[in-house]
Structure 1
Amino acid sequence: MARWQPHAPERLLVAALELFEERGYENTTVVEITERAGLTKSTFFRHFPDKREVLFGGGAMTGLLREGIEAAPAGAGPLETVAHALDAIGRQAFTSERREFSARRSAVIATNPELREREALKELGLIAAMTDALKHRGVPDLTARVTAELGALAWKIAYERWRDTSGRADFAELARRALAEVRAASASC
């Protein structure tokens, strides 16, 4: 085995997803994942703290979200700022090439309580990141919190729609539509 292999995190993710689909999350070990990926156990732990984290990408999404909020135009309101961040995430993370993979990932997560719990914790982390980034832009605390919650709901709706492989709309378009729907629904409450 070569000392350095390119694209190790992606290879580990693909191997893990395949094994989780074939054997189940509980019946798959880190060693089996690394063997499938053609990598070593130490390489796995250089990229992920445990086998469940291989499906969650560390803090990559949180970083993209913060960057998108920071890059929003100065005069953008809170929800428009979140929309800007969702646009950026759509361009970088939710590409059409990843649609089928994301649907498979979601199916694996749905079958395991530990993974569903981790997904819920990730969502809370994204809400906290949005709240902090909005407050950093000068948005008042309560407004930042509510905007982040609405943004997270819109994200979740858009993601569910996007990963449906029969659809062809891009994530950014779906996220903006979901954000408008969430805004309209909250106004009618």
Structure 2
Amino acid sequence: MGRWEPNARGRLEQAALELYIERGYEQTTVAEIAKRAGLTERTFFRHYADKREVLFAGAGALQELFVSAVAGAPGSAAPIEAVGAALEAAAVVLQERRDSARRRQTVIAANAELRERELIKLASLSAALADALRQRGVADTAAGLAAEAGIAVFKIAFERWLDETGRRSLAQLIQESLDELRDVTAGRPSAER
């Protein structure tokens, strides 16, 4: 094995996901992940703190995308519109990863520890969105409400996207969920889409 291996991080993620699906998260070891990827355990730990973090490696990049999209929204945009821009920016990035996202969610759904970690990730994304809104001058309470509502919209749209057979894009489902949220908050009945 050479000293430098191209795309070690991607290979580790793929190997881990394959093993988690085949054997289960609990039964899979770091040594097995590294071996499947053709790398060493030491290389694994250069990239990840533990085997759980392989599934959450993209959280930081997603948070940065959310924050920059909120910051880049037009100054006249309402808080929920700025959050919507962030969700749509994420949809563009995630759209090509549906199969991988489905497999990842299957692994997470099967393990309480991973479900808890997913909730922590969503809470961190919400806090980052709220901070980005505050930077735009949005009042504290409004920023928190818009961020939490945005994460709820994202979560629901994401779950619908994974369950569908490809009829609608994640961006379409996010927009539909935002429209449903507007209907709910305006007191209008919402037809199931």
Using structure 1 for the length normalisation, give the TM-score: 0.93
Partner of 1:174: 173
> Does 1:63 find its partner at 2:64?
yes
Q: How many residues align?
A: 187
Partner of 2:5: 5
SS in structure 1 of the partner of residue 123 of structure 2: helix
Deviation at 1:111, TM superposition (A): 0.7
- Distance of 1:76 and 1:2 partners within structure 2: 52
- Distance of 1:104 and 1:26 partners within structure 2: 16
In the TM superposition, what are the counterparts of 1:5-154 in structure 2 within 5 Å? 5-57=5-57, 58-92=59-93, 94-96=94-96, 98-154=97-153
**What is the identity percentage for the equivalent residue pairs of Structure 1 and Structure 2?**
51
Q: 1:103 to 1:144 in 2, by over 3 A?
A: same
- Distance of 2:61 and 2:41 partners within structure 1: 22
- Code of the residue aligned with 1:107 in structure 2: it is T
Deviation at 1:133, TM superposition (A): 0.7
Q: Is the 8 A contact 1:154 1:175 kept in 2?
A: yes
Q: Is the 8 A contact 1:150 1:179 kept in 2?
A: no
- Distance of 1:63 and 1:42 partners within structure 2: 28
Unaligned runs of 5+ in 1: none
Q: Is the 8 A contact 1:13 1:55 kept in 2?
A: yes
Deviation at 1:156, TM superposition (A): 0.5
Deviation at 1:139, TM superposition (A): 0.7
Deviation at 1:26, TM superposition (A): 0.8
SS in structure 2 of the partner of residue 155 of structure 1: helix
Deviation at 1:165, TM superposition (A): 4.8
- Code of the residue aligned with 2:176 in structure 1: it is R
Deviations 1:59-88 (A, max 9, x none): 121111111111212221111101111111
Deviation at 1:155, TM superposition (A): 0.1
Unaligned runs of 5+ in 2: 189-193
- Distance of 1:78 and 1:9 partners within structure 2: 36
- Distance of 1:177 and 1:152 partners within structure 2: 14
Deviation at 1:183, TM superposition (A): 2.3
Q: 1:130 to 1:6 in 2, by over 3 A?
A: same
Deviations 1:138-182 (A, max 9, x none): 111000000001100100011011112502322122112111212
- Distance of 1:147 and 1:177 partners within structure 2: 17
- Code of the residue aligned with 1:78 in structure 2: it is P
- Distance of 1:15 and 1:168 partners within structure 2: 29
Q: Is the 8 A contact 1:100 1:165 kept in 2?
A: no
SS in structure 2 of the partner of residue 59 of structure 1: helix
